Amino acid sequence: MDGENVGSKSDSNRRTNPAAFFRGFLREPGQVGSVIPSSRFLEQRIVEVANLTAARRVVELGPGTGGTTQAFLRHLGEDARLLAIELSPYFHDLLGEISDPRFTNHFGSAEDLADILAEHGMEQPDVVISGIPFSKMPESVATRVAQAVKDNLADGGHFIAYQFRSDVVNITEPIMGAATSNTLEIRNIPPMRVYRWCKSGDG
């Protein structure tokens, strides 16, 4: 992919501009884990951990301004699908500027993953990537999100979470077992850990 169908250069600059991200943080600080967008190093780390080049159905939870979304689209195949679920109206509007036939922009909560997949006619994803800050969610909500991810992942599918804090581990491990990968990307502000869980075929 050369990324030409992901949107214009001006749109890209708007979505990845730190000022736009910071405005989103000021509007809804409880839904944003950082005051600046993810670095290209973190984006590449997520792409590698998720093995996105082999993925066909991908769900992104909490894509923010869409910088990560664009990076994922550049690595996905022509026949892949990427469904983004965003709870912030401000970020959802920015995501609407992405023009790519493989991309679906949904306004809603990750708790409703099953219904959202059904609404858009998407089969169980083989990868779910989460940038939503588990540390800022009530534990009951975070638990429902993690359970929804497990229930809707395809067998052998992967859940990837990039987080500043380790709350996601305490929430997800009782549901999906121990993380199969835990790496630190220090070339990001702040440094982020990228976790990976695998859904076994026996559920």
pLDDT per residue over 89-135, tens digit each? 989 999 999 999 999 999 999 999 999 999 999 999 999 999 998 99
Question: pLDDT over 70 for what percent of the chain?
Answer: 81
Question: Is residue 203 in some structural domain?
Answer: no
Question: Is residue 66 in some structural domain?
Answer: yes
- Strand-pairing partners, residue 183, are 194
Question: Is residue 37 in some structural domain?
Answer: yes
Q: Would you call 138 exposed, middle or buried from its count of C-beta atoms within 10 A (0-12, 13-18, 19+)?
A: exposed
Q: 190 preceded by cis ω (within 30°)? A: yes
What are the structure tokens assigned to 163, written together?
């987080």
Distance CA 172, CA 174 (A): 6
Question: Is residue 183 in some structural domain?
Answer: yes
Question: Is residue 28 in some structural domain?
Answer: yes
Distance CA 129, CA 96 (A): 19
Question: Is residue 145 in some structural domain?
Answer: yes
Question: Is residue 29 in some structural domain?
Answer: yes
Q: Is 28 helix (H, G, I), strand (E, B) or coil?
A: coil
Q: What is the rounded average pLDDT for all residues in the chain?
A: 86
Question: CA-CA distances (angstroms) from residue 47 to 50, 66, 78, 89, 144?
Answer: 5, 15, 16, 26, 25
Number of domains within the chain: 1
**Which pLDDT tens digit goes with each residue over 33-67?**
444 678 999 999 999 999 999 999 999 999 988 99
Domain that holds residue 97: 4-198
Question: Is residue 36 in some structural domain?
Answer: yes
pLDDT value at residue 19: 52
CATH code of 137's domain = 3.40.50.150
Helices 18-27 and 9-16 cross at an angle (nearest 10°) of 50
Cβ atoms < 10 Å from Cβ of 11: 16
